[in-house]
Structure 1
């Protein structure tokens, strides 16, 4: 996964999600759950790369940051619960997909 469009397309592979642009800035694409409106990925361009902010379990936060130099404390988010993934080609697609999937699961809410 290298491009913004690939990231957005992958996020759309999850059930009941939509794109939002709430900041009046087309650079920031926010992927949300339809049911609870919670964000599970923020996709944007910064410093010449596509970045994706994803929610993570605090127990896994440091694992991801230590495993890949391109996973850093999230830009403009709570750094306890969010990481930024920099799409610079250094992280295998399977790991990017796993982090996005974990974020989706953590934000989808509880079944009633």
Structure 2
């Protein structure tokens, strides 16, 4: 997965947007839905990494099973993983983790926002 493909995948979700909210980290992209962040990435970084929200129990399991999945860098380690996109994980698995992160954030939005996103 290339940086452009990661960006496109993140922005492909209903209501998703990208911004750069941290002046001290101008290359850090934040992908949001309903104003809440579901993914962070320095798209120009080598290797490419993306931080994603995750259910706490699943986060621990993914870290134990895959060297490319680590506790969220500068994030709440219970709820966030940082995934290194280095070819060691199947693309579909990365896409599933991005989608799970998006779904977790959407689930926390008010019902009216969820309905506008077609995700009750």
Do the two structures share a fold, i.e. TM-score over 0.5? yes
Spell out the pairing of 1:37-76 with structure 2 (5 A cutoff).
37-44=35-42, 48-76=46-74
Q: State the secondary structure of the residue aligned to 2:99.
A: helix
| Larger Rg over CA atoms | 2
Q: Distance in 2 between matches of 1:70 and 1:45?
A: 17
Normalised TM-score (structure 2): 0.84
Uncovered stretches (5+) of structure 2, i.e. residues with no partner? 113-120
Per the alignment, residue 27 of structure 1 pairs with 27
- Residue-by-residue CA offset, 1:38-57 (whole Å, 9 max, x unaligned): 00000115872111000000
Normalised TM-score (structure 1): 0.89
Q: Once the 2 structures are TM-superposed, how far is the Cα of residue 99 of structure 1 from its aligned partner?
A: 0.6
More helix by share: 2
Would the aligned equivalents of 1:7 and 1:43 in 2 still touch at CA under 8 Å? no
Uncovered stretches (5+) of structure 1, i.e. residues with no partner? none
Runs of 4+ in 1 over 6 A off after TM superposition: none
RMSD, aligned CA: 1.6
Per the alignment, residue 87 of structure 2 pairs with 89
